[in-house]
């Protein structure tokens, strides 16, 4: 079903997650409409997802609905403050190519069919805030500064020379006609040698240069922007000249902690879980899944564990060695270590068992067999005998 999840047919369920995350960072929020489908549509489960941009829900729609509910920023609330509906526009306000016939400005969609994905910052917040908002003013001023610096460099590259003449009536080589005020311009071409008369002099303009302050100003400004966005400096700019292993790791640890909060507290809670619950209900009602007892206890079937994509290691060897030591010391479990890689431990165990059986059936043996090590350390098949194994070991040591 993940390949059929997109109502527009542009991507799969995982691509929709990426689009929702991007909209949340750029616009501050994203809306997902759950669209039931007919059986004749040929879907595995008659359910699809439609993404709606933030502009589709008008901020200016704040009024009282005919049923007495309050509408604030396009969201309808009942008497105790629960969301009961969303009033979406039928067309995007910035799309000039959508020339439809006259229709009502907004359409009421029940809240049970809409997922509102945004990061709540303050108590009582009902609409999302772009993540780039704290740095927006500084980025705008930095863009203006860059434009001014580029114009200054372009002007400085077009240098000009000023000629002082003792005999103005005698034209120089390449000198054009004088204007109404008697001033003329002489062009300078490559390879030109001009002989000056006695008393004539040439002086070239030397525009002021910003010097070494430009790069330092850029660095400090982008550093402040990165801090306000909560992102590491090298991820925002791609500049790793002043970074080392320790600084990169320290930044990534804090950055991954913040992203983990967004993954589990926003994306999983507001997006993945409701879709999973609706998908399970739709699959059971449509007959796609045979779930005895689902109608009596639907919550028993909704238990799911969401494993986010794995993080790439800064130093794979050190990180894996640290995980092995943690498992041997009992600080963590093998399940936690496997889930940190983005996979399910039960699936990994089944694959290891299948690989071990296939290797044994084919008579293959590798340096590390999947059937030998199923934990932090392989368990020996036979315990050592201190009376026999000790003497044999000492004899073997003497021979060596």
Each residue's pLDDT, cut to its tens digit, for the chain (400 residues) gives 999 999 999 999 999 999 999 999 999 999 999 999 998 899 999 999 999 999 999 999 999 999 999 999 999 999 899 999 999 998 888 877 776 655 558 899 999 999 999 999 888 899 999 988 888 899 999 999 888 888 878 777 766 666 666 655 555 545 555 555 555 566 656 655 566 666 667 776 666 666 667 888 888 899 899 888 888 888 888 888 877 777 777 788 888 888 999 999 999 999 999 999 999 999 999 989 998 888 888 888 888 888 888 887 767 888 888 889 999 999 999 998 888 888 889 999 999 999 999 988 998 887 765 555 544 444 455 555 656 555 454 444 444 4
Q: CA-to-CA distance for 232 and 254, rounded, in angstroms?
A: 9
Exposure letters 126-161 (e unless 16+ CB within 10 A, then b): eebbbbeeebeeeeeebeeeeeeeeeeeeeeeeeee
Give the chain's count of helices (H) and strands (E). Answer: 10, 10
- Per the DSSP assignment, residues forming a β-bridge with 126 are none
| Token output for 273 | 């879980």
The domain segmentation of the chain, as residue ranges, is 13-96+103-132, 133-156+211-243, 316-362
Q: CA-to-CA distance for 60 and 73, rounded, in angstroms?
A: 6
Q: CA-to-CA distance for 87 and 184, rounded, in angstroms?
A: 68
């Amino acid at each position: 079903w993940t390949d059929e999840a997109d109502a527009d047919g542009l991507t799969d369920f995982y691509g929709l997650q990426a689009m929702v995350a991007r909209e949340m960072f750029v616009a501050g929020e994203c809306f997902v409409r759950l669209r039931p489908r007919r059986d004749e549509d040929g879907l595995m489960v008659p359910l699809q997802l439609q993404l709606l941009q933030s502009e589709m829900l008008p901020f200016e729609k704040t009024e009282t609905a005919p049923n007495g509910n309050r509408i604030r920023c396009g969201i309808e609330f009942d008497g105790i403050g629960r969301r009961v509906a969303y009033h979406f526009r039928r067309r995007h306000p910035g799309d000039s190519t959508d020339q439809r016939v006259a229709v009502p400005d907004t359409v009421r969609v029940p809240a049970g069919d809409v997922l509102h994905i945004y990061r709540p910052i303050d108590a009582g917040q009902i609409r999302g805030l772009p993540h780039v908002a704290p740095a927006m003013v500084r980025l705008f001023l930095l863009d203006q500064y860059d434009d001014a610096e580029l114009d200054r460099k372009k002007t400085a590259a077009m240098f000009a020379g000023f000629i002082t003449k003792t005999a103005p009536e005698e034209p120089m080589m390449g000198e054009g006609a004088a204007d109404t005020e008697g001033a003329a311009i002489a062009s300078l071409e490559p390879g030109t040698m001009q002989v000056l008369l006695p008393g004539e002099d040439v002086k070239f303009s030397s525009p002021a240069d910003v010097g070494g302050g430009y790069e330092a100003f850029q660095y400090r400004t982008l550093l402040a922007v990165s801090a306000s966005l909560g992102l590491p400096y090298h991820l925002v700019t791609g500049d790793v000249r002043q970074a080392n292993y320790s600084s990169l790791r320290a930044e990534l640890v804090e950055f991954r902690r913040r992203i983990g909060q967004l993954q589990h507290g926003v994306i999983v809670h507001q997006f993945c879980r409701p879709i999973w619950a609706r998908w399970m209900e739709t699959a059971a009602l449509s007959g796609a899944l045979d779930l005895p007892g689902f109608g009596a206890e639907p919550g028993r079937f909704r238990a799911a564990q969401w494993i986010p994509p794995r993080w790439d290691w800064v130093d794979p060897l050190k990180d894996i060695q640290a995980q092995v030591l943690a498992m041997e010391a009992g600080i963590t479990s093998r399940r936690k270590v496997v889930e940190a890689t983005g996979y399910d431990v039960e699936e990994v165990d089944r694959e290891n068992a299948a690989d071990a059986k296939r290797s044994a059936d084919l008579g293959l043996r590798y340096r590390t067999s999947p059937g030998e090590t199923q934990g932090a350390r392989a368990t020996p098949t036979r315990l050592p005998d201190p009376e026999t194994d000790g003497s044999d070991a000492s004899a073997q040591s003497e021979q060596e």
